[in-house]
Chain A
Amino acid sequence: MTNDKLFQNFIKFLMAISIIIAAAYLFKYFLNLVTLSLPFILGFIGNYLCTPFVRRLERKGYRRNFAVIVVFAMFSLCSGLLLWLTFAYLYGEIAQLIVKLPSGVARLSGLLGSAYLRLSAVFPNVTNFDIRTVMIEQGKLIAPGALAATPQVALETIIIVLLAPVFTFFLMRDGRHFKRALLEPVPNRYFEISINVISRINEQMGDYIRGRFYEASIIGVMTLIAIGMAGFTHAGLYAMVAAITNVIPYIGPLLCVAIGSFIALIEQPSYEPMLVVMMILTIIQLLDLSVIYPLAIGITVRLHPLVVIAAVILGSKFLGIIGLVLAVPVVSIIKVIYTELIDTLWTYRRARI
């Protein structure tokens, strides 16, 4: 290879890296505009959930616009009803728990205090670190800010709830045009490989989102039944927590058990119910890990657990809670692009030899 060619390749490489970094910053900036990015993300999720039903109607011979309107109407009705029922139920549950909150916090404080005393008897150096004091101080720091931000959060939530269905509808109707628009600037030389990449990403994202949705629903129902059968009154709340925290890989199950245990501590006057809840939630999470997750999501996103953990940590560092949820989809997109490009180049080179 001549020096000119080497230099040209080096410039192209630098340009590619600059474009990737610029795109990453723009993406981060976009995600920081939560009011705009969250409806967009929710719109994508809604689109992926509804697309199989739209296709089913199209296969029966119905026109696409009609299929989209029908499926969107049904989806909006079901999700609106579900949200309203959930809100009404949660409002009652949380109101009851708030009444019991002071005693629950006192029980937690007692538990931490006795654990601290036992630990300091075995490990004298622990006396320098009192987790109860640390938690109280942190709570005092966070609480005023959280209270002040409540009106803004409420307003942003209303905007998100109103915008998300709009994004869902237009993505359902015009999603295929976005795919074609992405291909528009691609030169013919890279046409097939670009279609492969976009098609695989679309397929994986769709399977992953639908798989996650089914998995969260199954976990929610299992938790509802198990906690209800154990005699707890706020079984629905535990089910909600289990379903929502399930979305976050690896850390989600830990959060689920922690939050569930805290709710049990608030709800019940003694410590034993908390242990029962911890046991039930742990068994359900283990079932999820060994049976439900492999079945629901399994081979759609083949990522090594270490890669997932690293992605989740990086995601949370850069984008907080949104980063936790988006980490796995983003890494799987990068993996698809990388493997498609490498596969294609490798096959081509091997055939040329």
Chain B
Amino acid sequence: MSQNDPFWTNIFRNKTPEEKLLDTFSLLPLFSKLSKRQVKLLVSLVSESIYQPHPYKAGEVVFEQGQEGSGMYVILSGSIGIYLDYHLGDQNMVAVIEAGDFFGEINLLDELPRTATSVAMENSELIFFHGREFRAALESNPEIGYEVMRSLSGVLAGRLRETDYLLRKKDERLRELEIGAADSDGK
């Protein structure tokens, strides 16, 4: 076994926080288009803007709709449910985010109020990217900044397309129901 083998490098010491971050970043779809060198540089750039809150218990609210948001969360373990008008109950759950994925990404770009409520579906561990510090770190390296923002835009565009599709389907369904109701009235 060579000295670069993870077994040997880890047997004598624990991984540094930067190495743990590197492992986490390498698995995230958001950074999947970056090369290893770019991911390593990204970790050194943004490690100061990453924080880890206490583990969330099942049912614990991560953030509420309307609360001023300041960054994005990445799920290390567990799952998070996204709700609209959470106080109205479960029927407004719009998505479930699993481990390895992220949520609240819009607030990586701005600090406007959150558009939905997120609640831990089970015991979950998250890490938080502080938007302002993250953007300031990326500004210092335009190459990495461009790749990360391109990747983020791609994810947002995909989610927007999916939302458009769901809305279209809902519209069509509503029209069908209205036509059906009009027909039965006519009879």
* A residues at B contact (CB < 8 Å): 55-56, 58-59, 61, 63-64, 176, 180, 183, 187-189, 191-192, 195-196, 199, 343-344, 347-348, 350-352
Contact = CB atoms under 8 A, between A and B. Distances in A.
Contact of B53 (A55, A64, A188, A196): A188
B65 interface: yes
Given A55-B140, A351-B113, A192 B45 contact: no
Interface string B142-178: 0000000000000000000000000000000000000
A55 B63 CA distance: 31
B64 interface: yes
Given A347-B67, A348-B64, A192 B128 contact: yes
A192 B69 contact: yes
15 contacts: A58-B44, A59-B41, A59-B45, A61-B40, A180-B51, A188-B54, A188-B62, A189-B61, A192-B68, A192-B70, A195-B71, A196-B70, A351-B66, A351-B67, A351-B113
Nearest to A343: B68
A64 B71 CA distance: 24
Given A55-B140, A183-B51, A192 B71 contact: yes
B66 A348 contact: yes
B44 A61 contact: yes
Residue with the greatest number of chain A CB neighbours at <10 A, chosen from B69, B70, B130, B141: B70
B122 interface: no
A347 B45 contact: no
Contacts of B41: 59, 61
A275 B144 CA distance: 58
A173 B100 CA distance: 30
Contact of A347 (B63, B66, B141): B66
Contacts of B63: 192
B101 interface: no
Interface string B75-118: 00000000000000000000000000000000000000100000
Given A176-B47, A195-B130, 8 more contacts: A58-B44, A59-B44, A187-B54, A188-B62, A192-B128, A343-B68, A348-B64, A348-B66
